Amino acid sequence: MRNLKILSLTLVLTLVTLCAFSSAEQLNLAKANKAYSIGSYSVAADLYQKIADAGYVSPELFYNMGNTCFKMNDYARAILWYERARRLDPGNEDINFNLNVANTKISDKIEPLPELFYKRWFGALVEMFSVDTWAMMGICMFITGLLGLVLYMASRVLILRKIGFWSALGLFFLSFFTLIFAWNGYRFSESANEAIVFAPTITVKSSPDDQSTDLFVLHEGAKVKLLDTIGGWYEIRIANGSVGWLPKSTLEKI
């Protein structure tokens, strides 16, 4: 009985905490949106950052933060937040458009390596919707397919049995592919170890050592893929395939 009371009290306290957290963040979000609407961008940025630091994750929040940074001409940080928003909702046209605009504002225009056509097509399909949307579509199709299977097994009318059978088969087939897209989107979001350069100008080194050979120069706002880490250094690769080392202090992970 004592354990039951303790558990009940814990659940009540957890619910109260969650409600308080939600209401506090909703209040900050309303304040941030109002500050943005009247042009108080630094105030809006501080409030959006506070919400993000509290653990709230959503493409809308990250998109708003990117817009705020863009208005403040902080293009590197705008790119960082747009990239974070895009990772959650890769098919969002507004996020992709603003990210492209922000990338025109930075110094580095790095041409990516060409991809095989089928990889490009598959990636475009995966990015049409968010992981949650793909997963929800797959689950709904699977459940509807089960209903079609029930119709096939339960009905005594030939035409209804045919409809149930073929609809179940088609929906199971489609749900399989949508779940594959969801899985690949999730795997990409979890494995994409990328960062944005936050140094005005930085020289990429051939090894994790200040005295090593200079390879090429990057500027604030450039996106890099993180390959390895040694001490205070990251091994990085840029879109054109060039590889080198940068100090961790010059980068912020997406």
**What CATH number does the domain containing 212 carry?**
2.30.30.40
Give the least confident one: 31-35, 53-57, 176-180, 189-193: 189-193
Tens-digit pLDDT profile for residues 73-124? 999 999 999 999 999 888 899 999 999 999 999 999 888 877 777 777 887 8
Q: Are residues 134 and 177 in the same domain?
A: yes
The number of domains in the chain is 3
> Does the pLDDT of residue 13 top 50, yes or no?
no
Domain that holds residue 160: 117-191
In a domain, 21, yes or no: yes
Residue 146 domain-assigned (yes or no): yes
Domain annotation covers residue 110: no
Do residues 55 and 69 both lie within one domain? yes
Give dist(CA 251, CA 246) in Å, integer. 8
* Three-state DSSP state, 106: coil
Instruction: Please give the C-alpha separations between residue 186 and each of 67, 126, 130, in angstroms, as whole numbers.
Output: 25, 10, 9
In which band, very low, low, confident or very high, does the pLDDT at 126 lie, cut at 50, 70 and 90?
Answer: confident
Q: Which of 80, 104, 128 is the last residue of a domain?
A: 104
pLDDT tens string 15-33: 444 454 567 778 888 999 9
Q: Is residue 155 part of a domain?
A: yes
200 and 184 both lie in a single domain: no
- Position 22 scores a pLDDT of 64
Q: What is residue 122's predicted lDDT score, i.e. its pLDDT? A: 82
Q: Give the amino acid at 251.
A: L
| Domain-ending residue, one of 49, 80, 104 | 104
Residue type present at position 209? D
> Residues near 103 by Cβ (< 8 Å), separated by ≥ 6?
79, 221
Matching residue, tokens 């937040």: 81
Of the residues 169, 191, 213, the one at which a domain ends: 191
Q: How many other C-beta atoms are found inside a 10 Å radius of the C-beta of residue 210?
A: 10
Specify if 59 maps to a domain: yes
Q: What's the CA gap between 43 and 31, in Å, rounded? A: 9
* Per-residue model confidence (pLDDT) at position 191: 59
Percentage of residues in the chain having pLDDT higher than 90: 65
User: Contact 193/230 with Cβ under 8 angstroms?
Assistant: no
End-to-end CA, the chain: 48
Distance between CA atoms of residues 46 and 44, nearest Å: 5
Per-residue pLDDT, averaged over 167-185, amounts to 90
- What mean pLDDT is reported for the chain? 87
- Of 235, 119, 101, the closest CA to residue 188 belongs to 119
- pTM (two decimals): 0.73
Q: What is the pLDDT of residues 186-197, one digit of tens each?
A: 777 665 689 999
Mean per-residue pLDDT, 51-68: 93
**What local confidence, expressed as pLDDT, does residue 9 receive?**
44
